[in-house]
Amino acid sequence: MLITDLKKYLNRTGFYPNRNLGQNFLINSSIASKIAAEIPGQGSVLEIGPGFGSLTEKLLPQSESLSVVEISGRMASFLQRRFSDERLNVIRADFLKVDPSELPGYPFMTIVGNLPYYISSPIIFRMIEQSFRHVQKAVLMLQREVAIRLSTLDGGKDYGKLSLQIWPVFTVEDLIDVSAEDFYPVPRVLSRVVILNRRSRPLIPEELYCRFRRIVKVSFAMRRKTIFNNLKPLLGREGVLELLEISDIDPSLRAEQLPPEKFIKMAEAML
């Protein structure tokens, strides 16, 4: 949808974008086309937060089945009026609460979306749930700072819980940076589109993954503390020292100084 058409609709209906819902609508058609070009033509596609349908318009002609989850009732009604195609399913729902197995088109092979910035991390974490195990690829528009954290695995301030919890299941690659002027209303942040590709085999066995996530979360609970001090409330002094010795980890290091493989080693050592 062109910005002129979007503004006409807003003026005609008296609808105003809700910042509390992260309603910053993509208006750059070329960006939408680049995102759609990454979506395979086979299998069911799930779009999160379609808004006025800039991405939906590009995805629909190439999709076998496209389901869009929109939290706003007015947006959902608009999409149903705008697009008339039997391949499109418009679902009014909160993506963080919906059961994907109850959505038309399930199981989904691909997920795409311009994610609301304030809930982007919880949405990303849904990708590793069992109910989304069929998803092979996700193409997501994120706040650039979040995108950087998602792909950082070599230590430092951007390395942490987000990248580590996704790393065993998906690889992450950057697709394109998007300026604030490519949205309406114009957000106060820059954006980046990233691609998550499911690994052919997870880097950690399923039975260890919950323990791995817990260790990661506790280890980064207080970033300035050492790994020893963060883990001590969980395992006790002697328990932590034993775990770190088995895992060949210096107790004086902080979590951000440890490579990803060390967290797997700790999960394995806690058998």
Residue ranges and CATH numbers for the domains of the chain are 3-198 (3.40.50.150), 206-269 (1.10.8.100)
Report the C-alpha gap between 227 and 240 in whole angstroms.
Answer: 9
Q: Is 60 exceeded by the pLDDT of residue 1? A: no
pLDDT digits (tens, 9 = 90+) for 190-215: 999 999 999 999 999 999 999 999 99
pLDDT at residue 2 in the model: 61
CB atoms closer than 10 angstroms to residue 157: 10
With 60 as the cut, is the pLDDT of residue 186 above it? yes
Q: What percent of the chain has pLDDT over 90?
A: 82
pLDDT at residue 270 in the model: 87
Confidence at 232, pLDDT banded by 50, 70, 90 = very high
* 159 against 117, higher pLDDT: 159
Q: Tell me: the pLDDT tens digits for 146-175?
A: 999 999 999 999 999 999 999 999 999 999
Average pLDDT over residues 117-132: 95
CA atoms of 123 and 211, how far apart (whole Å): 21
Please give the C-alpha separations between residue 247 and each of 66, 165, 216, in angstroms, as whole numbers: 46, 19, 14
What pLDDT is recorded for position 8?
A: 73
The pLDDT of residue 91 is 97
Write the burial class of residue 207 (CB in 10 Å: 0-12 exposed, 13-18 middle, 19+ buried): exposed
Quote the pLDDT of residue 125: 96
User: Quick check: 140 pLDDT over 70?
Assistant: yes
Per residue in 17-62, pLDDT (tens digit) is 777 677 888 989 999 999 999 999 889 999 999 988 999 999 999 9
Mean pLDDT of the chain: 93
Average pLDDT over residues 222-229: 97
Closest CA to 152 of 133, 135, 165: 165
Average pLDDT over residues 239-254: 97
pLDDT score for 5: 72
Side-chain-facing half-sphere of 65: CA atoms under 13 Å: 11
The pLDDT of residue 6: 74
Locate the DSSP E strands across the chain: 25-26, 44-48, 65-70, 88-92, 108-114, 137-143, 170-178, 183-184, 191-198
pTM: 0.93
pLDDT at residue 136 in the model: 97
Per-residue pLDDT tens over the stretch 95-115: 999 999 999 999 999 999 999
Residue keyed to tokens 């052919």:
200
Which residues partner with 172 through β-bridges? 196
Q: Are 62 and 45 in contact (CB under 8 A)?
A: no
Determine the average pLDDT of the residues in 221-232: 97
Per-residue model confidence (pLDDT) at position 248: 98
